[in-house]
């Protein structure tokens, strides 16, 4: 095999490699991109039902309710304009608290209730998930939460 | 005073780095031995001054000097000494000082142990190393001064985030940085070689030990981080494809590719320009990782900084380093003469496929990690890319790679014998069959898991077969085999051990992904849960306070077939300084499987006004707790396998030909390994 031939083969191999990467990535993106919605966007943009998505905002004060005798929890997530009821079955993260930022991943049911498979709270006291901060800023209520967030 | 001394030492180190970046380069261009030799002294002095600065910062933390702003932000006088010390790098500024300390350490190591390097190459390598040092020292001095004072000093500090107060995480950043920053040496070697316009087999030999050292540290750092996530976060998982995890995983993947392609440069004088490119990419991805984590573009526990000026500064460093090195590469790489030819079926070709798959896998991880950021920067929708994406792209690329490992390592250089290699792997094929049938009988499906375990067996048995072939086990008299084993080069031992370790990791990942059992249930005192043949009974709770936290721990009695096995104590802790609760999982391991208990929420009203959490007061006897129990089969194998792979790297590092600083020997003194038989 000559030098030129070999270079050609190696080039061909790498084209195949990049092609594979592109194909794998594109098909995986089609099924696995998870979009983020704020409670307001769910109302305004008519968010799709039965598709994986993330939602986020503040846990509304006084909205956390445990279903007696089970591990199910219901709470409302708000961006201080609209709110969304979330149902979650399982143990909530340590830093989950009313009035604090939260992100949930799951699906929106036909009844407009969000069924969360995963609930993420902030990692520490001074931290607000960027998505949540962004959606609060857009609803024009960001300043109010800075004071009471801590 | 101490803080000012530290600040001054940093400034001196910056000045030295600046000179070290320029003078040796001129010396190398002019062939002036004195100017070139200056680099060695400068590299050691630079390291000494950064060490002084780091020492001063550590001192401020140890004595809780609350006139230093950084100590106030991330330390507390009541914290245990270990976490006072590790708190030094538990924040943005301190971790950057650690970063440059390790960078300078590698520079000094090249200066001290680089006796066998040609003086011009050594001078250029140290000069490039100093350029990186200048960039990051300037970053610290200009945007992230760790020695800033506060006045008046507060009475006490804010403390370190409690979930970072953990021995596993204490040593995770230094190891990770040893890996990340270790690739700077390889980068410097690559850029120096491009400046010289010469890459030969000797270059491959000089670069290998540094690649090995960096890769082994990074492996250990990532494994430690994953282990910490497993026992501390309480989700029963060990890898989440989180952007920050990916940021450390991409340099690892490219480092693994580089490790293999450098062998081809060393042995066969081929793949030179590709290897140079990998060396540049490995460190570029380390820089991108630093940028992602340090600039605040990612939301994660690791992201300390949210100051945009810092993000922009690192971005500029990134563009100059990556853009500059790639431009140099584009100009010089075509002139690198490629050496040895090889057939499509040969060990070189096997290593090319290895590199191809690792590079492709890196590309998919890169796209998945950065696409959401890119989309958002373009003003598009907010999206996230989760584990399903990475499983769908990464796994299909790794399966063929791992399948080819035992075959490739049995092929000879230049022209291999595929049929011969496959015949010699009959024992490995038998092992696969036995394991798959055993798993089918014990667990049943899913098919993917059976194939995964088969792949693990193939890797482990394949590594042993390759080793047995090298020492001609059972084919030569036993004494001869022993003799061959004793004389086998350390690098060959290293390869066998590392590939075996990868097999162990694959077994762990497969089993725990396929057969993890999770139970979430409300439990009152006296309730019991059956899981994987164990009975877990909730016997009550008690208090178990530590020096800087309050804690309530659950008492769980584990029995199997009526016999007591263990008592497990998962905890819920509360750190009053930060006002932050944490969860401590209780884990009992048998090496073959882990039983993992997490104490969740308590069914009790929260104290009004966010005071002490509701789990601290003695609960009523009929209170229900949410309890999560996991049964994770083979999960410890993931970390055991990683440690075995690192061991392989270390053994290979002790190979006489790779030993850093070993005097150059004539070929006659060093027996070459029997190549491919």
For residue range A62-92, list pLDDT tens digits in order.
888 888 778 888 999 888 888 899 999 887 8
Question: Exposed, middle or buried, A69 (CB in 10 Å: 0-12/13-18/19+)?
Answer: exposed
Burial B629-651 (b: 16+ CB within 10 A, else e): bbbbbbbbbbbbbbbbbbbbbbb
- Residue A148 forms contact with B (CB below 8 Å): no
Of B360, B383, B600, the CB nearest to A17: B360
Cα-Cα-Cα-Cα torsion B219, B222, B227, B232, nearest 10 degrees, comes to: 160
Q: Of A53-57, A106-110, B309-313, B571-575, where does mean pLDDT reach its minimum?
A: B309-313
Chain B contact for A33 (CB, 8 A cutoff) = yes
The mean per-residue pLDDT over the stretch B597-605 comes to 79
Between B278 and B488, the more confident residue is: B278
If you average pLDDT over every residue of chain B, what do you get? 86
Residue of chain A nearest B234, judged by CA positions: A93
Task: Please state, in angstroms and rounded to a whole number, the distance separating the CA atoms of residues A126 and B152.
Answer: 23
| Chain A nearest-CA residue for B396 | A24
Confidence of residue A132 (pLDDT cuts 50, 70, 90): low
CB B528 within 8 A of CB B597: no
What's the rounded mean pLDDT across residues A27-53?
83
Cβ contact, residue pair B364, A24, below 8 Å: yes
Q: Is the pLDDT of residue B63 over 80?
A: yes
Check B388 against A32: CB less than 8 A apart. yes
Q: Which residues from chain A sit within 8 angstroms of residue B386, using beta carbons?
A: 32, 34, 105
Where does the pLDDT of residue B59 fall: very low under 50, low under 70, confident under 90, or very high at 90 and above?
very high
- Segment B540-565 mean pLDDT: 90
At residue B370, does pLDDT exceed 60? yes
- Contact yes or no for B628 and A91 at CB 8 A: yes
For B616-619, the CB contacts below 8 A with 24+ separation are B616/B543, B616/B550, B616/B552, B616/B574, B619/B541
pLDDT of residue A131: 62
Q: Is the pLDDT of residue B561 over 60?
A: yes
End-to-end CA gap in chain B: 66
Residue B646 pLDDT: 96
The pLDDT assigned to A140 comes to 60
What are the residues facing B530 on neighbouring strands?
Answer: B535
Instruction: Give the C-alpha separation, B536 to B208, whole Å.
Output: 51
Distances (CA, A) of A110 to A50, A115, B14, B32, B321: 8, 10, 62, 78, 52
Of B342, B396, B579, the CB nearest to A24: B396
Give B149's DSSP letter. B
Q: In this model, does residue B137 exceed pLDDT 90?
A: yes
| Window from B111-115, B128-132, B378-382 with minimum mean pLDDT | B378-382
Q: B666 pLDDT band (50/70/90 cuts)?
A: very low
DSSP letters for B528-576 = EEEETTEEEEEEEEEE---SS-EEEEEEEEEEETTEEEEEE--EEEEET
| Distance, CA of B48 to CA of B169 (rounded, Å) | 27
To the nearest whole angstrom, how far is the Cα of B300 from the nearest Cα of chain A?
8
> What residues of chain A lie within 8 A of the CB of B360, using their CB?
17-18, 20-21
Report which of residues B399 and B335 the model is more confident about: B399
Inform me whether the pLDDT recorded for B262 exceeds 50: yes
Local confidence band at B506 (pLDDT 50, 70, 90 cut-offs): very high
| Cβ distance of A92 and B521 shorter than 8 Å | no
CB of A10 within 8 Å of a chain B CB? The answer is: yes
Tell me what percent of the residues of chain A surpass a pLDDT of 90: 7
**pLDDT, position B482:** 86
Hey, is B583 helix, strand or coil? Answer: strand
Q: pLDDT per residue over B153-181, tens digit each?
A: 888 887 777 777 788 778 888 999 999 99
The confidence band for B621, taking pLDDT boundaries of 50, 70 and 90, is: confident
**Percent over 90 (pLDDT), chain B:** 46
pLDDT of residue B307: 64
Which chain A residues in 105-134 lie under 8 Å from chain B, judged by CB atoms?
105, 123-125, 127, 129-131, 134
Helices (H), strands (E): how many in chain A? 4, 7
Please tell me if residue A90 touches chain B, with a CB cutoff of 8 Å: yes
Q: Look at residue B459 in the predicted model and tell me its pLDDT.
A: 95
Task: Give residue B661's Cα distance to chain centre.
Answer: 25
pLDDT per residue as tens digits for the range B340-351 = 777 778 888 889
Question: At A126, is the pLDDT very low, low, confident or very high (cuts 50, 70, 90)?
Answer: very low
User: ipTM of the predicted structure?
Assistant: 0.79
B290-345: per-residue pLDDT in tens? 888 776 666 544 444 456 677 788 888 989 999 999 999 999 888 877 667 777 78
Model pLDDT, residue B636: 95
Residue of A nearest to B520 (CA): A90
**Predicted local distance difference test score (pLDDT) of residue B303:** 44
Q: Quick one: pLDDT band at residue B649, thresholds 50, 70, 90?
A: very high
Pairing of strands A33-37, B383-385: antiparallel
Statement: residue B591 has pLDDT above 60: yes
pLDDT higher than threshold 90 for residue B575: no
Cβ of B367 within 8 Å of Cβ of A25? The answer is yes
The Cα–Cα gap between B570 and B588 comes to 11
Which pLDDT score, from 0 to 100, does residue B612 have? 66
Contact A35 B382 (CB under 8 A): yes
**Which residues sit opposite B596 in a β-bridge?**
B587, B630
């Amino acid at each position: 095999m000559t030098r030129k031939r070999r270079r050609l083969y190696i080039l061909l191999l790498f084209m195949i490699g990049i092609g594979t990467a592109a194909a794998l990535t594109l098909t995986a993106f089609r099924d696995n991109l998870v979009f983020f919605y704020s409670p307001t966007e769910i109302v305004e943009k008519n968010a799709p039902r039965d598709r994986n998505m993330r939602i986020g905002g503040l846990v509304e004060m006084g909205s956390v309710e445990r279903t007696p005798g089970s591990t199910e929890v219901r709470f409302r997530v708000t961006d201080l304009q609209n709110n969304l009821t979330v149902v979650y079955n399982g143990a909530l993260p340590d830093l989950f608290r009313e009035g604090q930022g939260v992100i949930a991943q799951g699906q929106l049911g036909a009844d407009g209730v969000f069924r969360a498979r995963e609930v993420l709270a902030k990692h520490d006291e001074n931290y607000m998930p960027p998505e949540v901060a962004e959606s609060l800023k857009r609803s024009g209520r960001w300043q109010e939460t800075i004071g009471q967030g801590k | 005073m101490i803080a000012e001394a530290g600040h001054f030492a940093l400034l001196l180190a910056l000045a030295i780095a600046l000179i070290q970046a320029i003078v040796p380069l001129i010396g190398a261009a002019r062939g002036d031995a004195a100017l070139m030799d200056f680099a060695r002294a400068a590299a050691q002095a630079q390291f000494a001054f950064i060490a002084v600065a780091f020492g001063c910062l550590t001192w401020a933390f140890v004595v809780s000097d609350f006139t230093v702003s950084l100590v106030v932000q991330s330390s507390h006088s009541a914290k245990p000494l270990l976490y006072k010390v590790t708190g030094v790098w538990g924040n943005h500024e301190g971790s950057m000082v650690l970063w440059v300390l390790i960078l300078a350490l590698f520079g000094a190591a090249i200066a001290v142990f680089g006796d066998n390097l040609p003086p011009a190459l050594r001078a250029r390598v140290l000069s490039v190393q100093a350029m990186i040092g200048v960039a990051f020292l300037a970053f610290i001095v200009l945007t992230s001064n760790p020695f800033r004072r506060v006045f008046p000093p507060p009475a006490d500090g804010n403390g370190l985030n409690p979930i970072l107060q953990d021995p596993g995480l204490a040593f995770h950043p230094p190891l990770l940085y040893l890996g990340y920053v270790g690739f700077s040496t390889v980068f410097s070697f690559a850029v120096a070689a491009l400046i010289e316009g010469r890459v030969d087999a000797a270059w491959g030999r000089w670069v290998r030990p540094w690649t090995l050292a960096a890769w082994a540290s990074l492996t250990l750092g990532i494994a430690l981080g994953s282990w910490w996530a497993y026992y501390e976060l309480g989700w029963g998982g060990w890898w989440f494809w989180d952007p920050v995890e990916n940021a450390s995983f991409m340099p690892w993947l490219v480092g693994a590719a580089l490790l293999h392609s450098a062998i081809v440069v060393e042995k066969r004088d081929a793949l030179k320009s590709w290897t140079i490119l990998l060396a540049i990419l490995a460190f570029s991805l380390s820089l991108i990782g630093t940028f992602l984590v340090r600039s605040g573009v990612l939301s994660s526990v690791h992201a300390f900084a949210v100051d945009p000026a810092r993000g922009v500064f690192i971005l500029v460093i990134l563009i100059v380093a990556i853009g500059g090195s790639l431009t140099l590469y584009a100009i010089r790489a075509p002139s690198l003469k490629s050496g040895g030819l090889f057939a499509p079926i040969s060990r070189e070709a096997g290593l090319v496929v290895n590199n191809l798959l690792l590079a492709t896998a890196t590309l998919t991880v890169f796209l998945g990690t950065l696409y959401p950021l890119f989309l958002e920067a373009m003003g598009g929708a907010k999206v996230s890319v989760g584990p399903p994406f990475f499983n769908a792209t990464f796994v299909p690329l790794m399966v063929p790679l791992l399948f080819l490992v035992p075959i490739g390592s049995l092929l000879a250089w230049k022209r291999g014998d595929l049929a011969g290699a496959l015949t010699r792997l009959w024992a490995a094929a038998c092992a696969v069959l036995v394991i798959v049938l055993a798993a089918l009988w014990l667990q049943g499906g899913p098919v993917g898991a059976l194939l995964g375990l088969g792949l693990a067996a193939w890797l482990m048995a394949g590594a042993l077969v390759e080793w047995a072939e090298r020492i001609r086990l059972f084919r030569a008299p036993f004494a001869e085999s022993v003799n061959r084993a004793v004389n086998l080069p350390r690098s060959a031992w290293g390869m066998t051990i590392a590939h075996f370790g990868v097999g162990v990791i694959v077994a762990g990942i497969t089993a725990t992904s396929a057969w993890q059992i999770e139970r979430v249930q409300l439990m009152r005192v006296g309730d019991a849960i059956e899981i994987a043949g164990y009975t877990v009974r909730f016997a009550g709770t008690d208090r178990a306070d530590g020096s800087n936290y309050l804690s309530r721990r659950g008492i769980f009695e584990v029995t199997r077939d009526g016999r007591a096995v263990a008592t497990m104590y998962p905890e819920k802790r509360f750190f009053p300084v930060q006002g932050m609760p944490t969860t401590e999982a209780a884990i009992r391991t048998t090496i073959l499987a882990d039983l993992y208990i997490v104490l969740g929420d308590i069914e009790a009203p929260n104290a009004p006004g966010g005071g002490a959490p509701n789990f601290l007061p003695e609960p009523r006897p009929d209170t229900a707790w949410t309890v999560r129990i996991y049964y994770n089969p083979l999960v410890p194998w993931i970390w055991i396998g990683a440690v075995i792979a690192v061991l392989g790297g270390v053994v290979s590092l002790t190979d006489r030909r790779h030993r850093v600083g070993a005097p150059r020997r004539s070929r006659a003194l060093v027996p070459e390994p029997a190549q491919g038989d």
